[in-house]
Structure 1
Amino acid sequence: MSAPMSILSTDNPLPLYAQLSEVLRQRILRGIFKPGDRLPSAEELAKEFSLARVTVRQAIELLQRDGLVVARQGRGTFVQRNPAAETRLKVQTTLRDLVTMLKGDEIQLLNISEGQAAPNLTETDGKPAAHYVHMMRVHLREGTPYCVISIHLDEAIFRRAPERFRSELMIPLLAAMPEIEIARAHQTLTIGSADPEAAALLKLRVNAPVANVRRVFAAPDGTVIYLGEVIYRGDLVQLEMDLVS
């Protein structure tokens, strides 16, 4: 009888226990294992993935550390929570929907830094403003950090209401200022993994999945007035698109 085929690989830069932890995490997120379900035993998982039991235990410890599972003496390991079943963040695909979503959310802002810095713009983004204010902030919902944002805002616009830009959600504020016209708004989304800095700010493990969103707003003359580079927790992001319109 042939040995079971493992979907894990020693060529992967992640250690085997981290790969297994991610496989089990995805099964929890997809609802294959639901809250209250008992996970397969270490022996069963070791056989399924052709791993040593010590490697399986290391993978389970990662899930325990993230609060997804709980070990019960003499009974096994049980799923405790599924982040996908909790409040998720919809990545909006229009500026109007984005403003509406942000206005309706109760979000805490944690400003990490502020200074002057030039954004990294491409030719297709538009032309740069004379100066930019650069802000780093973390957004929290119900005390949980869900994204970290690097913002470059045209300094001339920032100086019109500096305290409001420091204390309020920036996109709804920009959209509400009658003297500011956003002629073009574009965003791209890519999937990546958390580096040590993002992991620490978002309370994730290093290399946890994240969604990277880059938003560019330009004025009628093509000047980039806002660049937002957002890193979202991957376990909270949901992208919905209506394919029939």
Structure 2
Amino acid sequence: MKKLSSLYDRSRIPLYIQVASVMRQRIETGHWVEGDKISTLEELEAEFGVARVTIRQAIELLRDEGLVDAQQGRGTFVSGKPKHNRWLNLANDFETMISLVKDNVLERVHIEENVVLPDLDESEGTAAAEYTFLRSVQYNDGEPFSVVNLHLAQDLFSRDRQRFTHSAALPSIVEMKDLKIVHAHQTLTIGVADPETADLLKIGLGEPTADCRLVLVDDGGVAIYVANIHYHKDCFALRVDLLKKSPVANASRGLETA
């Protein structure tokens, strides 16, 4: 019990949400399959070391998600699986990144010119003189899957306000013939949804997100595009062939054909 208590104390997330997360994972991984009767309230109360009301709240949350069904006099049964298919694979080269975003359906929710300069690491180039801030939500099958917070160099935005207001900025930048991009720094981290992101993605405050930072640097060393993208955790996966283009893979192929 003491160990569980210390684990709970590490998070500020309400207890019932923490318990529901563990139970949801059991359904997701097949530990509990559809049709299974899950542990009783008494068993779950003892296992998780929390009050029965907390267990009831966790089950109610899963019930609202369509994952379990409580049947009077019989118990609680698994009735579904989490509705995510990890359809989005993060690009690991610039061309793929462009192809992923060029046809995205997006909604601009905020545009502000001449904003405070974004924070930049030394490796990410120097700041432009001025930036325009653009926040947008990207949709897939009518559901929001990412929030993009973009600082775009003001001189680029001024070239075609109409296009940058209504379309994804990245493809538009690439099409500018007089602009040369020499670096595209991408960093992937795991974060949590702040109030703005949670509201736009229709998820709970503090839920995990996959966060991607993309910085484009021109041939003058200026960071012309600084984007922080927050992906809904249920759509995201990173799939990479670790042997692709590696000496080990090449050697293996050589042996196979020898």
TM bucket normalised to smaller: 0.7 to 0.9
Determine the C-alpha separation between the residues in 2 that align with 1:34 and 1:181: 53
Does 1:96 pair with 2:95? yes
Task: Give 1:195's aligned amino acid.
Answer: D
The question of whether the paired residues in 1 share the 8 Å contact of 2:27 and 2:78 is answered with no
How far residue 6 of structure 1 moved from its aligned partner, in angstroms, is 4.3
How far residue 87 of structure 1 moved from its aligned partner, in angstroms, is 5.1
User: CA-to-partner distance for each residue in 1:77-123, whole Å, 9 max, x for gaps?
Assistant: 42423233x252111121111112223x5x32121111121222222
Determine the C-alpha separation between the residues in 2 that align with 1:4 and 1:43: 19
Query: Counterparts in 2 of 1:1-245, with a 5 A limit?
Result: 6=4, 9-12=7-10, 13-34=12-33, 37-65=36-64, 67-74=65-72, 76-84=76-84, 86=85, 88-103=87-102, 107-116=104-113, 117=115, 118-244=117-243, 245=245
Aligned residues: percent identity? Answer: 35
Determine the C-alpha separation between the residues in 1 that align with 2:15 and 2:122: 42
Compared CA separation, residues 77 and 123, structure 1 to 2 (3 A): same
**2:137 match: secondary structure:** strand
- How many positions carry a matched residue from both structures? 239
Structure 2 unmatched runs, 5+: 246-258
Deviating above 4 A after TM superposition, structure 1's stretches of 4 or more consecutive aligned residues are 3-8, 34-38
TM-score between the two structures when normalised by the length of structure 1: 0.86
Task: Give 2:178's aligned amino acid.
Answer: E
Determine the C-alpha separation between the residues in 2 that align with 1:10 and 1:102: 39
Task: Give 1:167's aligned amino acid.
Answer: H
How far residue 216 of structure 1 moved from its aligned partner, in angstroms, is 0.3
TM-score between the two structures when normalised by the length of structure 2: 0.82
The question of whether the paired residues in 2 share the 8 Å contact of 1:35 and 1:82 is answered with no
Determine the C-alpha separation between the residues in 2 that align with 1:87 and 1:31: 17
How far residue 124 of structure 1 moved from its aligned partner, in angstroms, is 1.8
Higher share in helix:
2
Compared CA separation, residues 37 and 145, structure 1 to 2 (3 A): farther
Task: Give 2:67's aligned amino acid.
Answer: V
